[in-house]
A and B are shown apart, each in its own frame.
Chain A
């Protein structure tokens, strides 16, 4: 009695396992030339105009190293006003539109949304 039940269950569930492990076609590429991320400033070098931004999914974290050419708009969303790059601080939560140029990630726009802080008002 148990064996038929087990066989039946296996037949029902096997396609599910196979389907789940079968890779789907890769997602369509992002619009040509740009991507976006939201994360926290890990380090900033205003002199060299570079930013390290920590982001990710769960514990699968990644650091994106960005170049910020002169003229790239940096905006404080709360103030709705432009700010100089040097005003960004480690722990600032930013949204960045960026793309790859000569193999390096280059920022197109940067928005400061808030701070990675513990207070109840800090949710960007």
Chain B
């Protein structure tokens, strides 16, 4: 009897596990034991809260990665909103780049929290935005589920959807952003960051004030060095191993599985394409080669083209790299049902509001949505709620 029970466990449980839809926070399917171990260990680092004694600050937004990327699981979205700022001078008489990310003044991210030591030394509660800024921006924390797959999409697949001069005349002119070293960007609301590893490594310093072998120097406070004695931990404050494990956790998080679609949702999927949403929210991208088999040549239903689009003056805020104030990367819609708020700054509380706020290249699809019968509008939203 006991033997039979054990056999059922050995044979049955893996089979059930393999059939189960991935839940938010699960790893990708098909990981090796070593990859799974790195994923599990990385989650621990991701959720670890830092203190000033082990490196937090002196400026920071949160104490742990998992404090922002928290709902409904580690790696999910968050309700925190942080401040970015930049100066945009499209016709700069002095001959600089049109976009100044205010790096020399502490930008582009201006942290909202300080350690007690920095507060005592400077009497500030956050990093001040310099007067040179022409705009500030609010940024919510997106979920990072499935981002390893987005990282594995080859540049050529992104560029294949680019149409910067709108040669096909459809009113959509997606163009790529580029990082300062020339690489194609894809991560961040303005698609500036070219690689997931870069995003993760940089975030330790920007969000938590944690130095590492990848970013060995502390930042500045409004462009000036931190006062002596305000940063007691020796650099680097996080090891290369800590960076690698965190990256493994984020990279190997499975994308949220699409939910079973009702008849209404299936109709909504057709409406989504018919009104033109899919022109920018491209339903699927395909990954290229990867050292990790679970990321290699997979289709990822991300509903993004990872390109910049002009979204009109109502949504415009800061420039970033090549992105003008009104240009934003098409937001991935995978995991939409898990998002507490919508758009880059969380100003929309429902998908309908988010659609209504589309301008610029999104205006045509928005207007077509407005003109739909109520049943078709409801179907489209029902479809979005399955993602």
Chain B residues in 8 Å Cβ range of A21: 45, 48, 50, 54-55, 238-239, 242
A63 to B240 CA separation, bound complex (whole angstroms)? 24
A97 contacts partner chain B, Cβ-Cβ < 8 Å = no
CB distance from A18 to the nearest CB of B (A): 10
Known: A19-B239, A91-B97. A116 touches B213 (CB 8 A): no
* Chain B contact residue count (CB 8 A cutoff): 66
A60 contacts partner chain B, Cβ-Cβ < 8 Å = yes
B177 contacts partner chain A, Cβ-Cβ < 8 Å = yes
Query: Is the beta-carbon distance between A13 and B44 smaller than 8 angstroms?
Result: yes
CB distance from A73 to the nearest CB of B (A): 20
Which A9-54 residues have a C-beta within 8 angstroms of B?
Answer: 13, 16-17, 19-24, 26-27, 38-44, 52, 54
Known: A16-B41, A123-B184. A23 touches B108 (CB 8 A): no
CB distance from A41 to the nearest CB of B (A): 8
Query: Is the beta-carbon distance between B239 and A60 smaller than 8 angstroms?
Result: no
* Closest residue on chain A to residue B220 by CB atoms: A62
Which among A23, A39, A42, A91 is the interface contact of B239 at CB below 8 angstroms?
A23
A89 to B246 CA separation, bound complex (whole angstroms)? 38
Chain A residues in 8 Å Cβ range of B103: 42, 54, 56, 61-63
Query: Is the beta-carbon distance between A38 and B322 smaller than 8 angstroms?
Result: no
B178 contacts partner chain A, Cβ-Cβ < 8 Å = yes
Query: Is the beta-carbon distance between B202 and A55 smaller than 8 angstroms?
Result: no
CB distance from A43 to the nearest CB of B (A): 5
CB distance from A105 to the nearest CB of B (A): 13
Query: Is the beta-carbon distance between A116 and B41 smaller than 8 angstroms?
Result: no
A58 to B205 CA separation, bound complex (whole angstroms)? 10
Residues on A close to B: CB < 8 A? 13, 16-17, 19-24, 26-27, 38-44, 52, 54-63, 89-91, 93, 113-120, 122-124
Q: List 5 A-B contacts (CB under 8 A).
A: A26-B216, A39-B181, A59-B193, A116-B322, A118-B176
